[in-house]
Structure 1
């Protein structure tokens, strides 16, 4: 494939599982959680170089200024910033990007804006392996080599080889119970569904036309009536609001025929919880990971993040402590998924927000 690959960065998520730092007004992709750069900047940096065109970013209109500022700082100014009037999940968002890209044979590399990839050469090698099938009209996803019976991810069963390092998808598996996840891990022929895709724009739009025509129509009509302001594109709210809300997995990948997976071990993590962040963070000799002004004495295996007040810990272990603005979160390590309980409690009691 001679033309450059067009990165499509999906930046519409709210990231509430990393409350209190990640909030609707500034979600986790706009935060520097794993490095000095924000997660959005790190994502854009993975596609720097002559093989890639400038990115198309699909984001919430509320975040337009921050997205532009951060990408400019990273030297990765987008060719287009598509600002969704409301969230409709990933399938319609990608449709908008495919239309903006021209809707032709351009290869689109679709990436969430808030994941970690530690082994960039492995990622680029997987992209290279996928390109021949992409050129031939296949929809390709990248399967993460699993190292645990994870119940929080979807899984993919790897089928027969259809190219070097590329396999037909045998089936997609919903987030499984633990026993099933253990079986899939032991089988050796399953990978995690990491939510990263590579396909031609026209291949994707044709798949939508076949499997989700209402979604395609809504995307096309919203773009036909879109307002433009420099590189900012504002799809028509009424037309886009008519789109069904569905993920690319459900709307397209699980229904289409020519769907392939490239298994890859690339140090991937979706940073879906404070525990996950602790697992990929550099730690001191006592197993503590911290960012911000932190003092830890006789303390072990804690994650401490603060964007303001100094946090001091003495004689504790296995805690997650996060201070952001006027909010402080404290909970045991291993229970960070329960942040969603706090989010629900605050939704139900406005006085707590």
Structure 2
């Protein structure tokens, strides 16, 4: 049983965000862009933890390439972080979380860490807070808690978590019966009807020391790499630069594969909180405010007789559209994207061509 009252928000901010090209690019991924509000998603992620019991300043884990963006955006919301851990190379979520756990455990092994990807939207923050509060007793008793997002449609692009038996009297925390990776359509539809499967949003709450013990048991190479990388780190103010050779020796592996699917301590708290990973332009259209014709517009836009469109101007030329329906138009200084909304997942093909120099 954890005796610490500290809770560290761990903000994972290393993604490249290519599915929202041309607005989101490797040098400025989507988590640093104000897509839904006037703040970036990273800023919103930090701020939504405000009010949770025992809250410490955020611990940000990100790419060394984005340090100037992080410093600038933290200053803009007047947030002094516990530390900024700068990965020399992206090695997936298990090594990133391991670095944070090592940093926290050196100061307070019994502290809880609330791991949150910085490129998600949560519309219902009070429901999020209630879910975290419900998860705390289980996390303090040694459970590795993940939050299962209530599914509202049969999504095939997400992983799923199946809940098992209840672990508390309130039936708010459950054992994990199964993790399922990106099911085919028919199986996803069965999950939606069954009522025991939830989307895996990649949000976690656990004791830092317990997590490190489970990591050492199930993915020792990741644990060893993180420990060596942090032991050999350079410190520049609140920035921590892990030893590059040690960190890059870690396997490239997710926390789910490394730990959550193997541990006997996994638990899940189901929650319906208006969650979106904003994984496509269509997903952004779905969560933005829309007019009576289903149009969502930003910037210098003229839209005549249009319906169901996302027209997004940010740094590019103004857009005028006539009779356009169910489409996406994005205008930036880096490029212009035009496509039907139902082809939003195909942006990857465009990004691949841009990487090969198709627009040079």
Mind listing any 5+ residue stretches in structure 2 that lack a counterpart? none
- Kept in 2: contact 1:48–1:76 (CA 8 A): no
Rounded to whole Å, the distance in 1 between the matches of 2:56 and 2:250 is 28
Other-structure match for 1:76: 79
* Cα distance in 2 for residues equivalent to 1:350 and 1:146: 39
Q: CA deviation at 1:81?
A: 0.3
> What do residues 135-158 of structure 1 show as CA deviations (whole Å, max 9, x unaligned)?
111100000011101101000111
C-alpha contact (below 8 Å) 2:23/2:334 kept by paired residues: no
Structure 2 CA distance, aligned partners of 1:326 and 1:93?
30
| 1:157 matched residue in structure 2 | 162
Q: Is it true that 1:274 corresponds to 2:276 in the alignment? A: no
- Match for 2:46 among 44, 48, 70? 44
User: How many residues in Structure 1 have an aligned counterpart in Structure 2?
Assistant: 352
Distance 1:93 1:7 in 2: 14
In the TM superposition, residue 351 of structure 1 has moved relative to its aligned partner by 4.6
What residue ranges of structure 1 are gaps of 5+ in the alignment? none
SS at match of 1:352: coil
Match of 1:223 among 221, 227, 230: 230
4+ runs of 1 displaced by more than 6 Å?
Answer: none
Q: Is this contact kept in 1: 2:15–2:29, CA < 8 A?
A: yes
SS in 2 for 1:335: helix
For residue 5 of structure 2, give the secondary structure of its aligned residue in structure 1.
coil
CA distance in 1, matches of 2:331, 2:320: 11
CA contact (8 A) 1:130 1:140 kept: yes
Cα distance in 2 for partners of 1:226, 1:4 equals 24
Question: In structure 1, how many angstroms separate the alpha carbons of the residues matched to 2:334 and 2:50?
Answer: 37
CA positional deviation for 1:76: 2.2
TM-score between both structures, scaled by the size of structure 2: 0.96
Equivalent positions of 1:1-353 (< 5 A) are 3-49=5-51, 51=53, 52-103=55-106, 104-163=109-168, 164=170, 165-308=172-315, 309-347=317-355, 349-353=356-360
* C-alpha separation in 2, matches of 1:2 and 1:8: 17
Cα root mean square deviation, aligned: 1.1
Q: Is the 8 A contact 1:44 1:71 kept in 2?
A: no
**CA offset at residue 50 of structure 1?**
6.2
C-alpha displacement at 1:346, in angstroms?
2.2
1:217 aligns to what SS in structure 2? helix
